[in-house]
Structure 1
Amino acid sequence: MGTKMESLILAQPNSPLQYPIQGFVVAPLAKSVIPGKTLSFTVKKGVLSVEDVLDGDQVEGQGQSNLTISSSSRTHLNDLLSRVTYTSTIYHVKTKDLGNVSTTLFVHYRSSVPVLYDPGTGKTTILVTITTKTFLRYDELNILINSIRQFYPKIKIIIADDSLETQNVTGYNLEHYIMPPAQGWFAGRNLAISQVTTKYILWVDDDYIFNNNTRIESFVEIMEKVPELDVVSKILESFPFLTLSSLVTFHQPLPNFKDCFLVDGVVNNFLGRTGTVRRAGFDPYLKRVGHSEFFMDGLGQLLVASCKGLSIGQQRHREYSDYTVKNYAGGCYNLSESVIFYLSILVIK
């Protein structure tokens, strides 16, 4: 008695499946004609071919176990299907082969609108906004602003401020956003970055200072040449945060940039693409110590590089007043959630 595999079943090539491989855009709830026709054949114990292939015939895998034929014309595809041959490559009187015919459809239901930026002259000023968060450190903040203006007189500065008693901060092309008191570092980051309209964000803490080696334009140049790169910062020589040490392990050099290396995280000043930095986000639950958490959330989302060539100095620490010490390092920013975060990282590791 014969088996089902011995019964000949023919699928006539007059009704081929019609699906594109990729690039088919469909508006939601709208009808669209599917363009293109592609079929793939796979066998295990033989090879496939299309006889009498002509110039212009779209055939891949001639004489192999995987064959793909495609055409924008149904008539042409039917003709190709009628010339597909199977050649056995195994001699065995009872050997059977099972062939598969498949097609793949990738449908993109709605294309996104590209974000456009002003490509005008003065690239650094046009493309970059400097953002920072401050709490009770107005002296340091003013030093930072003055140093920025020394080297970049027209660049935009955005400040998020959750001080208990706020002071007025003004200046050219400067925005000062007052928050409810003691909302925290990441809440401030979210606010400041939400107001950025340029292609790139340069994040700095309020106790940093620009110097002669601060060359934002060198990092803008890297980001412009490597469109898939999301964040870039300086080479980290020491590890100020417990969990950051593992995040800045050099994986491999950034192609075409010998002084740059791909890492998972960088230091507390960095240039980032506005869109991808926003998508990674900042969890406002972490009020004080959260820099590492941002890059932990960005694992698998952000392509990060650490490079030589950008130096943003840190101001010398001064003696704070009892009021500042009490409210900054004391009760306003509860450290418990940050301690729990770091302990959880240690457990994971």
Structure 2
Amino acid sequence: MHSMLKTVLLALVASVVLLMAVLHSWPTRAYSTIDVRQRPGSGVERLLEERLPDPDPSAISIPYRVKENIAGLLARNSCVCEGERPGVNLPFAKLLFPRVSAHPLHTAFQPSQLDEMKRRRAKEYQGFQMRSQTPADLLIVAEANSPLQYPTQGVEVRPLKTTLIPGLGLKDLLRDVYTLNFSASLGTFNVAAEVEGVKVRGDGEMHMMLSSFLLPNLNRQPNSSPTQTHCSIPALLIQLETEGHQALFTIKIRHGVTPKLYNTGPEGEKEYNISALVTIATKTFLRYNKLQDLIDSIRLYYPTVTIVIADDSENPRVVSGPYIEHYIMPFGKGWFAGRNLAVSQVTTKYMLWVDDDFIFTANTKLEKLVDVLEKTTLDLVGGAVREATGYTSTYRQTISIEAGEEDGDCLHMRRGFHHIIQGFPNCVVTDGVINFFLARTDKFFIDGLGSLHVGSCDDVIVNHATKIKLPWGQSESDKAYAKFRYPLASSDATRTKNGLLYFKNRFQCLTHN
């Protein structure tokens, strides 16, 4: 009996302790529910459309002439990929007389699969648009001679935090009573200070109205009225209104950008410390003899630079030595997977990508590429590759995406560049470069279009091991490599690549020269 009573008392004590622990940890803050799926709805879009100025009726009778060469540059949202007719089949014709070829990408799928693939792609694209479009993407036209004063850009707030909106006010308007109405798409307005002579309605709500008989007092109040975000969407739409006038502007919502800084050693050195700044990365497959030639050539000029090797050979060999990191991958994973693995292991400020059959020479001056990235806003700069024949290529390309309809967009790639970089006469701004480039490690071409700033310099040259081999002079590894490296147009690898362009990037076709 005594032991049973003791057990009951212990159970009661344990229950009380557990209850107190639960109550102590129970959240005391009241959390609101926010629909993060919300995007600028038809109401906001309709409001913005209504505010677009109507064409002046008197302008209809004014004659004008369309400049076809300029009008033709405007987006039509109905792109078509068209290639040029093939020319005479002569040696080096593609090199000397490049022609545009067009490749429809839907052929990566069987005809029986295509309708289902289109439906799935359309569904994914709709979801992508909902996630990526924000109020900052909406067209907003400022009214002429509006008495409303407001910030057009430069206001930021952290997610779920509060900020003051500078510059709000009402100017040059004579009225008996002055009013300002505020509305926020996903946020609230709060009064941090009460200004004498100003009435406030809607404090702490998504809609707030200020009114006063005195204009100076009214203009003092908005600067004491911060807004608080209730969601972590990229932008907040603010509507400001007074009698007869409206204005809309956006506030950017984002966390503070965390800097990525690299310790590159003491200052005062005349030349760049390449070993502290650069890691060389490559992906190898079967060609260990060429890989060793690459390593040996690097060590002639940069003996202490770290070399990261991603290897997806079927029977990998040991590759070791000072400042060498060798990572084994599953067989045949491919170039992109190898690049991602190699880049993930880089800890220096810059990463130099090379193919495993390149040869460093006295012209492979990494200091020049580092100098370009250190002194410009470029994220990536390519060099040049010299073949055994003496021909040197930079593979500079401009890449453009032409809007299409439901079939998808058109991807156009052309040889060339945009402009020369001031201070670096051998360097240009372009979109695509050859597989010999130096990049900022924290940056990583179609997926990077629009975000990566790319350059190319033709005075930093790496040699390419000769590809000219007679059939009877090829080793078994050369033959095996060629089978993977140069797949037929009808191969699974080619269909997979085209299928990704079609579905992942929503392209209907590709043109290039």
Question: Which structure: larger Rg?
Answer: 2
Identify the residue that residue 260 of structure 1 maps to in structure 2: 427
How many percent identity over aligned positions?
40
Residue aligning to 2:251? 106
> Which amino acid in 1 is paired with 2:419?
Q
Give the counterpart of 2:314 among 164, 169, 183.
Answer: 164
Tell me which residue corresponds to 2:168: 39
Counterpart residue identity of residue 212, structure 1:
A
Alignment-derived partner of residue 25 in structure 1: 157
1:126 paired to 2:276? yes
SS, match of residue 164 in structure 1: coil
Q: Secondary structure at the match of 1:186?
A: helix
Partner of 2:216: 79
Closer/same/farther in 2, CA of residues 78 and 257 from structure 1, 3 Å limit: farther
Q: Which residue of structure 2 aligns with residue 135 of structure 1?
A: 285
Report the equivalent of 2:351. 201
Instruction: Verify the 8 A CA contact 2:397 2:431 in the aligned structure 1.
Output: no
Please give the alpha-carbon distance, in whole angstroms, between the structure 2 residues aligned to 1:113 and 1:243: 31
With structure 1 as the length reference, what TM-score do the two structures score?
Answer: 0.66
Change (3 A) 1:225 1:82: closer
Question: Which one-letter code corresponds to 2:439 in the other structure?
Answer: G
The Cα offsets for residues 152-182 of structure 1, whole Å up to 9 and x where unpaired, read as 1111110001111111111111100011112
* Aligned 1:213-228 pairs, distance under 5 A: 213-227=363-377
Q: Which residue of 1 aligns with 2:474?
A: 320
Question: Structure 2 CA distance, aligned partners of 1:165 and 1:82?
Answer: 75
Aligned-pair CA distance for 1:133: 0.6
The 3-state SS of whatever aligns with 2:283 is strand
**1:249 matches 2:402:** no
Summarize the Cα distance change of 1:331–1:120 in structure 2 as closer, same or farther, 3 Å threshold.
closer
1:235/1:144 CA distance change after superposition, 3 Å = closer
**What residue number does 1:90 align with?**
none
Matched AA of 1:79: P
Distance (Å, rounded) in 1 between the aligned partners of 2:293 and 2:434: 20
Residue 206 of structure 1 and its aligned partner are, at CA, apart by: 0.4
The separation in 1 between residues aligned to 2:294 and 2:354, in whole angstroms, is 9
- 5+ long unaligned stretches in structure 2: 1-147, 175-191, 197-213, 221-242, 267-271, 386-391, 400-411
Q: Are residue 184 (structure 1) and residue 338 (structure 2) matched? A: no
> Residue deviations 1:88-141, cap 9 Å, x none?
xxxxxxxxxx95343634233311321121131453211111000111111111
Deviation at residue 326 of structure 1 after TM alignment = 4.3
Q: Structure 1's 348 and 179: CA in aligned 2 closer, same or farther, altered over 3 A?
A: closer
Contact 1:248 1:264 (C-alpha < 8 Å) held by counterparts: no
How many residues align? The count is 272
Q: Output the aligned Cα RMSD.
A: 3.9
Q: How far is the alpha carbon of 1:347 from its aligned partner? A: 3.6
SS in structure 2 of the partner of residue 133 of structure 1 = strand
Name whichever of 183-192 and 255-264 sits farther off.
255-264
In the superposition, relative to structure 1, how do residues 177 and 272 fare at CA in structure 2: closer, same or farther (>3 Å)?
same
Q: Provide the rounded CA distance (Å) in 2 between the counterparts of 1:239 and 1:155.
A: 24
TM-score by length of 2: 0.46
Q: Which whole-Å CA distance do the structure 2 matches of 1:157 and 1:214 have between them? A: 16
Aligned structure 1 segments of 4 or more residues deviating by more than 6 angstroms: 16-20, 72-77, 80-83, 239-245, 342-346
CA–CA distance in structure 2, aligned partners of residues 241 and 25 of structure 1:
40
| In 1: Cα distance, 2:346 partner to 2:285 partner | 20
Deviation at 1:36, TM superposition (A): 4.2
- Structure 1 position 303, deviation (Å): 1.4
Residues in 2 aligned to 1:82 and 1:232: alpha-carbon distance in whole angstroms: 51
Distance in 2 between residues matched to 1:223 and 1:20, nearest whole Å: 32
Deviation digits for residues 211-242 of structure 1 (CA, Å, limit 9, x no counterpart):
00111011111101113x11111257548799
